Structure formats: C-alpha cells, structure tokens
Amino acid sequence: MSPAGTMEAWVIRPDRLGDPMQAMQLERIDVPDPGPGEVRVRVMAAGVNYNGVWAAAGLPVSIFRYTGYDFHIAGSDASGIVDAVGPGVTRWKEGDEVVIHCNQSCGECAECNGRDPMACTRQRIWAYESNWGSFAEHCLVQAQQLLPKPPRLTWEEAASYGLTYFTAYRMLVDRARIRPGDNVLVWGAGGGLGTFAVQLCALHGANAIAVVSSDDKVGLVRELGAAAVIDRREFALSDPDTGERNFDEIKRFGGAIRGLTGGVDCDVVFEHVGAATFFTSVFVCRTFGTVVICGATSGFQLDFDVRYLWMRQKSILGSHFANAYECQRANQLIAEGKIKPVLSRVFPFGECPVPHQMMKENQHVGKMVVLVGAEREGEGRRE
Ligand SMILES: NC(=O)c1ccc[n+]([C@@H]2O[C@H](COP(=O)([O-])OP(=O)(O)OC[C@H]3O[C@@H](n4cnc5c(N)ncnc54)[C@H](OP(=O)(O)O)[C@@H]3O)[C@@H](O)[C@H]2O)c1
C-alpha cells in the first residue's frame, strides 16, 4: 500500500471497454506519490469531457497502449488543492488552490523550451493518454499543468472549463487568428467547445454564427453573444441512414449563412464534428478562409470536394489542446470575468458515469461537472 493510503476512483479496465455506464466502475486504488516535477492534487471537482467517452470505449485506440497500466482513471479537468509536491517543484506548495490544464510534455527538449510543448515528441493529454485523472479523490500531474484557481469561482465552476475552453482559445486566437468583423461558423455552439468559441468570438469583435440542434441551446448561445443562430434540424445535410450528403441542402445551408452575414461566406469555420459536417465546412468557408479543426465526434474519415479548397484558396488547420502559455492567458480572461464558465449540471461523485453517458448520447448542454472533495455546490468562492 502507498504511504498515503488508498482512495476511491472511477476506474476503466481493458476487459470492460464500451459505454461509460459499464466501463467506469468505482474501485479503491493506492494514492499515487508525486515523482520529480510532479504534484498531487486533492480533487474538489472534476469536469466531464468527451475524451472520457473515448477512453471508456477504447477509441480511437485503447488507452492502455499508451500508459502501460492495467487500469485507467479518466478526468482531464479539475479544481483542487495541492496536497503533496515532488522533488524539484518550487513554484507550488501544499494548500495552493488550483485548476489544472491537461497538456503534458517532457519539459526538457528544444520544442518544450523554445518552440511549443505541443510539438514535444512526448506530448500527451493528461488522463487520456496518461493515467491518474480527476475522477478520483487525488490526481497526479506535472507541476507545469497548474494554474491559479480564479478566486471568483466555485470549485465546480473552476473544474468545468479548462480542456474545452483552452482548446477553443488556441483554435480561434492563435491558429485561425480571428479578427474583429470576421464571420465565424461555430458547429455545436451549445456544447463544451462551442460555448467558449461563441464567447471568444464576441470578446474579439467577431460574429459567431452558432449552429445548434435544440431550442434550449438557441437561448443559451444568444446569451453568450452569438451574432446569429442556425438550427441544423432545418437542414438535411446528409441522409441520416446512409450518411450520403445532400448537396442541394448544403447549398441552402450556405445561403442561410449568407442571409445572416449580409451576403458573405464565413471567414472561419470552427470544426470538431468531423465526418457529418466537414464537406459543408469546406464548402461554406469563404475564399481565402480557414477551417480550423480539433476533433471528429461523428467520424474520423473526412470526405470533401477539394476543388472548393484549391480554387478558392482556403486553408484547413489542425489544432490540438493548447500550451501552458495559452492556458494561462485564457485563464486570466476567466479570472477577470470576461469569459464565463457554462455549467449546466453538477453530479455527485457516485454518479460519475451518468454525465459521460449523457454526453455520448448528446443529451447535455455546455459543461457538466462531478463533485469530488467538495461536499456541495457553491463552495470554494473566495471573492
Ligand atoms: N483536440 C483537442 O484538443 C480537443 C479538445 C476538446 C474536444 N475535442 C473533441 O471535440 C469534440 C467535441 O467536444 P465537446 O466537448 O464540444 O463535445 P460536446 O459537448 O458533446 O459538443 C459537441 C456538439 O457537437 C454537435 N454535434 C454532434 N453531432 C453532430 C452532427 N452530426 N452534426 C452537427 N453537429 C453535431 C452537438 O451540438 P448540436 O446537436 O446542438 O448541434 C454537440 O453539442 C469531441 O470529439 C472531443 O473529443 C478535441
């Protein structure tokens, strides 16, 4: 047994991969001890992300290939209190209140020290490509992953935004470089990434054209600052059974966008849906415009007509999470109240698989959080 004893953790094992309700089981596990450069955090609240759904399913590849462990604790977002620091950690101490960003890298190579840790050959997403995530009483992270918890937030608010918000920040601010007046098509605008993409557009003076599929999300994205909203249920972009695209409907969708922008196509398309939307994204993007993509919920094999890309000189940019500097800049906007967490539901620790299952079935809005050390909602605010 570890000198720090044992803890409760929601654990995924290789022999039960599948739906979150079956894959995630509550077990008692040794508390991990921090090694050099590492910090152990007592988790107060943990944010739910789509990567927990991927980890539970073992997709796109089984997590166990990366970690070498026979168990996996997911959870790439957390707020909490530092409870032990490993050798060599000098900037953080026991008792510090923190939020955690989910990028891990070696910290020693030229990419980490001069270019961008996202280019490190050992770059990985904490608790998706490594173990010891936040759906446990304690988690284990690299010291560089810590950010000060914004004092104005409760534990659950502070745990809700890191992964999706920091990803959206890099996509729009540093990759696509949105500018005032840009028209930005935001797929899934009422989801985890989309709610922050809409707010970032508003903050930068760009016009978010928010795509959603339910009435409650229409009101939400308007409140967050969307310039216009499209309900995708009004367009049959592809055949729901065969997946075959419907070009007339895609053209009508493009016409609807132009109707909202004063006759122009989108400067930037914010993509993460993948197979179901990518053809449309490339098509509706303006000449010299940019499609920026970080995920593919509906399928990884993307099919589009490249003539619309080259003839109109469009760009496709891949983007993946964010580096520590981007996380810190983005976190500051939260601390200043300029970007707000969008927390739709809070669950007790004992129900951790439930929000993951809801997420898999697209039954949620914004972000969901699981309370871990925090006993009830509303704790942790210091201002
Ligand atoms: N690379 C990275 O660093 C990174 C970071 C974060 C997330 N991701 C990935 O990005 C994806 C989205 O993450 P998220 O947290 O935003 O998930 P989310 O909260 O589930 O939101 C995704 C949204 O996509 C929309 N959507 C789903 N199926 C669709 C379809 N067939 N056509 C059009 N829209 C559809 C839904 O909105 P409506 O139904 O309202 O339209 C949903 O709200 C996931 O695959 C995740 O793994 C990658």
Q: Is 321 in the pocket of ligand 1 (CB under 6 A)?
A: yes
Pairing of strands 285-293, 266-271: parallel
Q: Is 294 in the pocket of ligand 1 (CB under 6 A)?
A: yes
21 and 55 in a common domain: yes
Q: Is 320 in the pocket of ligand 1 (CB under 6 A)?
A: yes
The CATH number for 251's domain is: 3.40.50.720
As a whole number of angstroms, the distance between CA 29 and CA 20 comes to: 19
Task: Tell me, in angstroms, the distance from the centre of ligand 1 to residue 346's CA.
Answer: 20
The phi, psi pair for 332, rounded to 5°, reads -65, -35
Task: Tell me, in angstroms, the distance from the centre of ligand 1 to residue 258's CA.
Answer: 24
Q: Is 187 in the pocket of ligand 1 (CB under 6 A)?
A: yes
| Atom 39 in ligand 1: residue holding the nearest Cα | 213
Q: Is residue 226 part of a domain?
A: yes
Q: Is 366 in the pocket of ligand 1 (CB under 6 A)?
A: no
Contact 237, 250 (CB under 8 A): yes
The CATH number for 38's domain is: 3.90.180.10
Q: Is 58 in the pocket of ligand 1 (CB under 6 A)?
A: no
Q: Give the torsion sign (CA, 360, 154, 158, 26).
A: negative
180 and 154 in a common domain: no
- Give me the DSSP letters along 322-334: --HHHHHHHHHHH
Hey, how many other C-beta atoms are within 10 angstroms of the C-beta on 328? 14
Going by the DSSP 8-state scheme, the letter that residue 113 receives in this structure is: I
Rg (CA), the chain: 21
260 and 141 in a common domain: no
Q: Is residue 331 part of a domain?
A: no
As a whole number of angstroms, the distance between CA 26 and CA 277 comes to: 37
Q: Is 273 in the pocket of ligand 1 (CB under 6 A)?
A: yes
Residue 366 has what pLDDT? 82
Average pLDDT, the chain: 96
Ligand 1 atom index nearest CA of 217:
40
Task: Tell me, in angstroms, the distance from the centre of ligand 1 to residue 300's CA.
Answer: 13
Cα 159 to the center of its chain, rounded Å:
12
Q: Is residue 216 part of a domain?
A: yes
The phi, psi pair for 289, rounded to 5°, reads -80, 180
| Atom 31 in ligand 1: residue holding the nearest Cα | 276
303 and 172 in a common domain: yes
286 and 314 in a common domain: yes
183 and 156 in a common domain: no
Q: Is 192 in the pocket of ligand 1 (CB under 6 A)?
A: yes
- Give me the DSSP letters along 147-177: EEPPTTS-HHHHTSSHHHHHHHHIIIIIIS-
287 and 177 in a common domain: yes
Q: Is 277 in the pocket of ligand 1 (CB under 6 A)?
A: yes
155 and 111 in a common domain: yes
3-state SS of 10-77 is EEECHHHCCCHHHHEEEEEEECCCCCCCEEEEEEEEEECCHHHHHHHHCCCCCCHHHHCCCCECCCCE
299 and 361 in a common domain: no
| Atom 36 in ligand 1: residue holding the nearest Cα | 188
| Atom 8 in ligand 1: residue holding the nearest Cα | 295
Q: Is 190 in the pocket of ligand 1 (CB under 6 A)?
A: yes
Task: Tell me, in angstroms, the distance from the centre of ligand 1 to residue 358's CA.
Answer: 13
As a whole number of angstroms, the distance between CA 158 and CA 182 comes to: 30
The phi, psi pair for 203, rounded to 5°, reads -65, -30
Q: Is residue 330 part of a domain?
A: no
12-16 contacts: CB < 8 A, separation 24 or more? Answer: 12/55, 12/56, 12/63, 12/71, 12/72, 12/73, 12/74, 13/70, 13/71, 13/72, 14/58, 14/62, 14/64, 14/70
Ligand 1 atom index nearest CA of 49:
15
Split into its structural domains, the chain has a count of: 2
What is the extent of the structural domain holding 97? 6-160+341-371
179 and 152 in a common domain: no
Ranges of residues in the chain with a pLDDT under 50 are none
333-355 pLDDT per residue, tens: 999 999 999 999 999 999 999 99
Distances (CA, A) of 157 to 42, 259, 273, 317, 377: 16, 37, 25, 30, 9
As a whole number of angstroms, the distance between CA 145 and CA 23 comes to: 27
Task: Tell me, in angstroms, the distance from the centre of ligand 1 to residue 273's CA.
Answer: 6
Q: Is residue 326 part of a domain?
A: no
**Helical ranges in the chain per DSSP H:** 20-23, 50-57, 64-67, 110, 155-158, 162-169, 192-203, 215-223, 247-261, 278-284, 307-310, 324-335, 353-360
118 and 221 in a common domain: no
